[in-house]
Amino acid sequence: MESCERCPGADKCASENIQPLLEHAYRLHQKGLDKMEILLAVDDELEQLIERYTADISPRCWNKAAVFAMAKVLADADNATEAEGPGLITLYRTKLSHAIAAFEPFPWNVTDLDRKSAELYDRLKSMSNHHHFSKRITQRAFRKLCADLAFGRP
């Protein structure tokens, strides 16, 4: 991953600090909330994160946080399913599509999903039970899926 600015006074990378916000946005989106409802539904602690990081952190950090949050979402789904082949690709496409929609209110760049797909793949491999993820989908197929979603291709 590319290096990013450090949070003022924080001991972790900014993207690690805002990852929980994006994971929360994903869960709210899964419940059917739209982007305005997601912003209105965050608690005080997450609201402070939004205020702090929207002004102080570059889009690069938001992009990295989005990749981390997507990795968590996909790893959880991958570890919980036995789907294979086309069903598995559909699962990944659905989860990534929901993440893209959920993260829309935040200052990240969806086209970065294409550039960061190899890093996302590697992160998923490390989070997968027994490296099961890399046995189920090739890096090339995963990168194509990410590129298709990043550029709005079906």
Q: What is the pLDDT of residues 81-133, one digit of tens each?
A: 877 778 888 999 999 999 998 888 888 888 889 999 999 999 998 888 766 78
> Which residues lie below 8 Å from residue 38, measured CB to CB, with a gap of 6+?
25, 28, 29, 102, 105
Q: Whole-angstrom Cα distance, residue 95 to residue 23?
A: 12
Calculate mean pLDDT across residues 33-40: 77
22-26, 126-130, 135-139: the lowest-pLDDT one? 126-130
Q: Where are the domains of the chain?
A: 14-150
- pLDDT value at position 1? 36
Q: What is the pLDDT of residue 108?
A: 82
> Using CA of residue 104, residue 106, residue 111, residue 116, what is the dihedral sign?
negative
Residues 136 and 144: their CA atoms lie apart, in Å, by 15
